[in-house]
Amino acid sequence: MARHYSTRSFFRQVPNALLARYFAGRGLFKDLDFAAMKETKPDALFEAWLELPEDQRKTMDAEFQEIFELSCEKGFRAIIDEARWQMQADPEGLTAFVETLSALPNHYHRAMVTYLDHPECWKGATRFYHADTLPYWRKRKNLGHKPAAVDEASLQQLADQIRNYFHRTEGRGNNCVVEPFRRGELDYFFAYPEDYTQQSIEWVDGEFAPRPHNPAFEVIFVYSQKDGTLDLNFRGSRKAVEPLQGMFATTILKLETLPPDPKDERIYDLSQLGQRGFNFVHGVGSGIEGAAVRKLRLSSRFNKGERITLEADTTDDPEAIYDLLDKISKATPLHLYNVTQVEIAATVVVDADKPAKIVPIRITYPNSCSLKYDELGMKLRDMLEASGIEPKEPEAIGETPKPAEA
């Protein structure tokens, strides 16, 4: 379920003592008795908040939204990952840090304490959290195992090449900055080139009018020296993917050129999901209570563009989709179709104090999956692998005819 931010709700969730510390650091609300306010009843604070100048509120509201974003399990994991890097020379301090945060009542407490007391962990944690929420990463293999260069000269080289590329090809990217972070065995690089000037209708000092501004777009590289792989997240033209990979290879890995990419011939074996009785395998303690196929897309093996899409409610009957499949098989020769897309509804306990939730997983032939690479996504990928669905080399699963159109 999506989480929605509001200032009043944020004040309800964060302890009064922490709110008092935050505002005291900014010299605000000195006359407000935070101790006298009832927890989760911040009416007096909210009224005082509304009296502040708009510009002052905007700055703090942006900070509150960052804290809100990290006030969840995924945010806490990102905080710990950054703390491991920041406190690598002080293992006892790291242990104390994790134990102290873990003992707090909830994730709002943990995020606010980190923001107030451990600013060195904040920026990296926000970057990791954001990266964990992004789908559709593009992987490049065969990059060797050289360490990533993180010196200023190398970072500037990468920024300059990204800037020049987008300026030359798309007319944007006049400026660019690259920020490196280390997360376990992975090197993260967040690049922020300047986007096209945009104009939005905004309220500025009480006036409602168009306002031009220069946002940044992002390019994220995640390099594994151990595996020799590079994951790239870029929401733009596919034509830019290989040039961006090449820039990383030459500036950060110091390779003469981008090595050839072995074509990924792996495919998801979706045919088995079109058959009744398929069992999903998940580990004990994974939090996964079950999974069911609720949507199938069938593509003709011979007529390009000819598809049949089936969807069923599996809430009460996990095999409802197969009952529907049996019905249409009486009028349609299904052997002339291949399964090219499935949607799986996985029931997962994410929070021990809350009911299990339904997590959709969309898999498309040949090797596309909607799951992210966060903690939940990796658990569900483990389930797909244990169930024999994860991508395999074609020869490993036999001669499967390629659909006319995936």
Regarding whether 142 and 245 lie in a shared domain, the answer is: yes
Residues 55 and 143 reside in one and the same domain? no
Mean pLDDT of the chain: 90
Tokens of 166: 């987008």
Structural domain includes residue 357? yes
Which segments of 2-53 does DSSP mark as H helices, in order?
Answer: 7-13, 16-24, 43-50
Task: Report strand pairing: 357-364 vs 368-369.
Answer: antiparallel
Out of 66, 97, 132, pick the residue that ends a domain.
Answer: 132
pLDDT tens for 261-313 read: 776 666 788 989 999 989 999 988 889 999 999 999 999 999 888 999 999 99
Instruction: Give dist(CA 258, CA 144) in Å, integer.
Output: 11
Domain span at residue 364 reads: 271-396
* Closest of 219, 214, 274 to residue 252, by C-alpha: 219
Query: Tens of pLDDT along 214-256?
Result: 899 999 999 999 999 999 999 988 899 999 999 999 999 999 9
Whether 224 is in a domain gets the answer yes
The predicted pLDDT at position 62 comes to: 95
Q: In angstroms, rounded to a whole number, what is the distance separating the alpha carbons of residues 288 and 73? A: 16
Residues near 398 by beta carbon (within 8 Å), at least 6 away in sequence: none
Q: Give the pLDDT of residue 394.
A: 52
Question: Domain check: are 294 and 392 in the same one?
Answer: yes
Clarify whether residues 127 and 150 are in a common domain: no
**Under 8 Å CB-to-CB from 71, ≥6 apart: which residues?**
13, 106, 107, 108, 110, 111, 112
- Residues 122 and 170 placed together within one structural domain of the fold: no
HSE-CB at 107 with a 13 A cutoff on CA atoms is 16
The CA distance from 192 to 188, in Å, is 13
Q: Are residues 285 and 308 in the same domain?
A: yes
3-state secondary structure string across 269-293: CCHHHHCCCCCCCCCCCCCEEEEEE
Evaluate whether residue 145 is within a structural domain.
yes
Residues 186 and 241 in one domain: yes
Is residue 263 in some structural domain? no
In a domain, 259, yes or no: no
66: phi then psi, degrees, rounded to nearest 5: -65, -45
Both 246 and 149 in a single domain? yes
